C-alpha cells in the first residue's frame, strides 16, 4: 500500500489494536467528517465537555472544534461560520468579496488543522499508523505542520514538523512551545517555494520505518475534508447572505494553492452554484501561469509544482498576485498610520478597517485575486466572490516589521499609505490572469507529471486517472466509508463520549 491509496481496509491489525488501546488510555474519541462538516450533529454531551477548555489547549475536546463554526471566542458554536464582506469602498470593485475566517480554528488559528486531522485519522482507523511506535511526519510550509503537531500531541504520539527555515518566526515560536522534543522541528533549506526540498527531507526520513509521512500534497483526505467541510461552510455563509439579498449569486470561489486542499471547496461550490474555480499563485513564482519558478513571500502557497490532489481539469481561472502587494498591504492594514489613512483620508468605516487583521499574507493575496477576478469577469454588485483567510495577521507581525524596515526605510507615513493603497489595492488590473481553456488545463495538468511520476513514484495510471472528473466525483464515496471506520474504531475504543 502506498500513501496515494485511499485506505478503506485495515492494513495492519496490530497497529490498529495498539491504536485502539492507546486512545482508550488517552480517553480520546475521534470526530467523523460528517460531524466536522456539520457540528450541530455533534452530541451535546461532547460539546459540553469542551466548556471551560481553551481552544488553544492540546485537549481532546478540541478535536471537536476542528471546524469552521467556532464563534469569535472559539468557545461555542455559531450557526454560520465567521466571515467578513469587503465592499466597493475598500476594494474598488462592485462585487462583494466574502472572506471566511480560518483564524477561528483551534490551537493554530488556521484552517490547516482540519487537513492535518483528516490525514492522520484516516491512517489510524485503517491500521496504518500505530501511535505507540510511529512518528507522524508533517511536510509543510508552516501551518499544516503546526496542525499536525497539535493533533499528534492530543493523540499522544510524536509529531515532526518539516518546514523551510525561512518561514515566519511566529510559526517557529509556536512549534517550539508544542513539539515534544526540539528535534521534532526539521528545518529545510529555503522558504515558501522550496517544496521539493521538503519532499527530499521526507524521502530521507522515510528510510526509518517508524516515520509515517503524511504528505498533504498527495493525500486525498486533504481534498475530501475541504470538499465536504470547507465547501459546506462556505455554502452556509453564502446562503445566509442570500437570505438578506435574494438577488445575490455566487460568481466565483478564489483561493491560493499550497497543497490545493482548500481548492476542493471550489469544486463543491461549483456543483451547487455553478461558480467558477479560481486558483491563485504568486507572480514571483508563476508555475500555473507560465511554468515559472522563483522565490516569494506569500506564505502558505508554496509553488513550483502541481499537487497531486489539485483538480486542475476543473480550474477555470488562474490569477497571479505579487508578494509585494501582500507584504505592503500587510503593513497598511496593521499599522497605526495605515489604519488612520484608511479611516481618515479614505473615510472607511473603522470596523471594516479593524476587521482587516483577519487576513494573513495569503488571505490578502486571495482578496486581491478576488478583485482581479471581479474585474476580469465584469462582476456587478449582485455577483459575489467568496474566498478564505487561512490564517490571520497575528502570524505575520515579524514579517510586517521586516517589510517596514526593508521597503520603507524612511518610515511608513501617510504618503506611503496612499501609495500602497492606490497601487496594490485599487490598482489591481487584469494582468497575470488566465482563463483556462481545455488546452491550458492540459498543460498545467501535465506539469504535475515531473513531480509525481518521475520523482515521487506515483504510477502513470494513478496520475492519469485524475484527468477525468469522474475520478474526483468517485472520491466522494470514500468519506462515508471513512466515517463508518471512525465510528467502528470509536466503538472499539469504548470510551464514553466525554460528559
The site for ligand PLP (CB under 6 A) is made up of 110, 112, 141-144, 256-262, 299-301, 360, 362, 390-391
CB of 364 to ligand PLP, least distance (A): 10
Cell of 111: 484552517
3-class SS at 179?
Answer: coil
Q: Are 72 and 86 in contact (CB under 8 A)?
A: no
Q: Which is nearer to ligand PLP, 259 or 287 (CB)?
A: 259
Residues whose CB is less than 8 angstroms from the CB of residue 64 and which lie 6 or more positions away in sequence, other chains included: 31, 35, 39, 42, 46, 47, 50
Q: Which is nearer to ligand PLP, 46 or 149 (CB)?
A: 149
How many Å apart are CA 38 and CA 123, to the nearest integer? Answer: 22
CB of 452 to ligand PLP, least distance (A): 16
* Other residues' Cβ atoms within 10 Å of the Cβ of residue 323: 23
Q: What angle do CA 43, 48, 54 make, to 5 degrees?
A: 125
CB of 261 to ligand PLP, least distance (A): 4
CB of 112 to ligand PLP, least distance (A): 5
How many Å apart are CA 295 and CA 323, to the nearest integer? Answer: 10
3-class SS at 158?
Answer: strand
Q: Which is nearer to ligand PLP, 299 or 451 (CB)?
A: 299
Question: Which residue is associated with the grid cell 477525468?
Answer: 468
Q: Which is nearer to ligand PLP, 130 or 303 (CB)?
A: 303
Cell of 492: 472499539
Q: Which is nearer to ligand PLP, 127 or 360 (CB)?
A: 360
The angle that helices 478-493 and 113-124 make with each other, rounded to 10 degrees, is 70
* Residue 11 burial (10 A CB sphere; 0-12, 13-18, 19+): middle
CB of 222 to ligand PLP, least distance (A): 7
Q: Which is nearer to ligand PLP, 219 or 391 (CB)?
A: 391
Cell of 187: 528545518
Secondary-structure percent of the chain, ordered helix, strand, coil, rounded to 5? 50, 10, 35
CB of 262 to ligand PLP, least distance (A): 3
CB of 83 to ligand PLP, least distance (A): 17
CB of 325 to ligand PLP, least distance (A): 15
Q: Which is nearer to ligand PLP, 112 or 400 (CB)?
A: 112
Question: Which residue is associated with the grid cell 498610520?
Answer: 337
Cell of 402: 521586516
Residues recorded for the chain:
499
Residue number with the smallest Cβ distance to ligand PLP: 300
How many Å apart are CA 347 and CA 58, to the nearest integer? Answer: 43
How many Å apart are CA 202 and CA 150, to the nearest integer? Answer: 19
Question: Which residue is associated with the grid cell 518521475?
Answer: 454
Give the dihedral of Cα atoms 101, 103, 105, 110; nearest 10 deg: 110
CB of 266 to ligand PLP, least distance (A): 11
What is the biggest distance separating any 2 CA atoms in the chain, rounded to whole angstroms?
66
Q: Which is nearer to ligand PLP, 396 or 421 (CB)?
A: 396
* Other residues' Cβ atoms within 10 Å of the Cβ of residue 415: 10
Look up residue 246 and give its DSSP letter.
Answer: T
Q: Which is nearer to ligand PLP, 163 or 379 (CB)?
A: 163
Q: Which is nearer to ligand PLP, 127 or 258 (CB)?
A: 258
CB of 360 to ligand PLP, least distance (A): 5
CB of 21 to ligand PLP, least distance (A): 33
Question: Which residue is associated with the grid cell 465536504?
Answer: 228
Q: Which is nearer to ligand PLP, 257 or 275 (CB)?
A: 257
Amino acid at each position: 500500500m502506498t500513501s496515494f491509496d485511499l485506505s478503506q481496509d485495515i492494513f495492519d491489525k496490530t497497529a490498529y489494536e495498539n491504536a485502539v488501546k492507546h486512545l482508550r488510555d488517552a480517553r480520546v474519541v475521534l470526530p467523523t467528517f460528517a460531524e466536522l462538516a456539520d457540528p450541530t450533529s455533534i452530541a451535546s454531551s461532547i460539546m459540553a465537555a469542551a466548556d471551560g477548555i481553551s481552544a488553544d489547549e492540546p485537549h481532546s475536546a478540541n478535536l471537536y472544534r476542528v471546524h469552521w463554526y467556532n464563534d469569535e471566542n472559539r468557545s461555542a458554536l455559531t450557526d454560520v461560520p465567521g466571515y467578513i464582506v469587503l465592499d466597493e469602498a475598500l476594494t474598488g470593485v462592485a462585487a462583494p468579496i466574502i472572506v471566511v475566517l480560518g483564524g477561528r480554528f483551534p490551537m493554530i488559528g488556521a484552517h490547516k488543522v482540519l487537513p492535518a486531522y483528516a490525514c492522520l485519522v484516516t491512517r489510524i482507523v485503517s491500521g496504518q499508523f500505530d501511535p505507540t511506535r510511529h512518528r507522524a511526519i508533517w511536510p509543510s510550509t508552516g501551518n499544516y505542520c503546526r496542525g499536525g503537531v497539535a493533533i499528534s500531541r492530543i493523540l499522544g504520539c510524536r509529531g515532526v514538523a518539516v518546514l523551510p527555515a525561512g518561514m515566519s518566526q511566529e510559526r517557529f515560536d509556536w512549534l517550539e512551545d508544542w513539539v515534544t522534543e526540539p528535534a521534532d522541528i526539521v528545518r529545510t533549506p529555503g522558504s515558501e517555494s522550496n517544496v521539493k526540498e521538503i519532499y527530499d527531507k521526507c524521502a530521507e526520513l522515510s528510510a526509518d520505518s517508524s516515520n509515517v509521512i503524511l504528505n498533504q500534497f498527495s493525500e486525498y483526505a486533504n481534498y475530501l475534508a475541504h470538499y465536504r467541510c470547507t465547501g459546506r461552510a462556505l455554502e452556509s455563509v453564502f446562503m445566509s447572505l442570500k437570505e438578506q439579498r435574494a438577488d445575490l449569486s455566487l460568481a466565483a470561489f478564489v483561493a491560493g494553492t499550497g497543497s490545493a486542499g482548500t481548492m476542493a471547496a471550489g469544486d463543491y461550490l461549483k456543483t451547487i452554484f455553478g461558480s467558477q474555480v479560481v486558483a491563485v499563485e504568486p507572480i514571483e513564482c508563476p508555475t500555473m501561469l507560465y511554468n515559472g519558478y522563483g522565490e516569494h513571500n506569500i506564505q502558505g502557497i508554496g509553488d513550483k509544482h502541481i499537487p497531486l490532489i489539485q483538480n486542475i481539469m476543473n480550474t477555470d481561472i488562474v490569477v497571479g498576485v505579487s508578494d509585494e502587494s501582500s507584504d505592503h498591504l500587510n503593513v497598511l492594514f496593521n499599522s497605526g498610520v495605515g489604519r488612520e489613512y484608511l479611516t481618515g483620508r479614505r473615510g472607511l468605516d473603522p470596523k471594516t478597517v479593524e476587521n482587516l487583521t483577519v487576513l494573513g499574507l495569503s488571505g490578502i493575496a486571495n482578496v486581491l485575486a478576488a478583485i482581479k477576478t471581479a474585474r476580469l469577469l465584469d462582476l456587478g454588485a449582485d455577483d459575489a466572490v467568496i474566498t478564505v483567510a487561512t490564517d490571520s495577521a497575528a502570524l505575520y507581525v515579524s514579517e510586517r516589521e521586516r517589510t517596514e524596515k526593508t521597503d520603507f526605510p524612511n518610515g511608513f507615513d501617510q504618503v506611503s499609505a496612499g501609495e500602497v493603497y492606490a497601487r496594490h489595492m485599487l490598482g489591481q488590473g487584469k494582468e497575470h490572469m488566465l482563463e483556462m481553456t481545455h488546452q491550458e488545463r492540459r498543460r498545467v495538468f501535465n506539469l504535475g507529471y515531473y513531480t509525481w511520476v518521475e520523482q515521487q513514484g506515483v504510477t502513470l495510471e494513478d496520475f492519469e486517472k485524475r484527468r477525468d472528473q469522474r475520478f474526483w466525483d468517485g472520491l466522494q464515496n470514500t468519506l462515508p466509508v471513512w466515517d463508518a471506520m471512525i465510528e467502528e474504531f470509536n466503538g472499539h475504543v469504548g470510551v464514553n463520549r466525554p460528559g
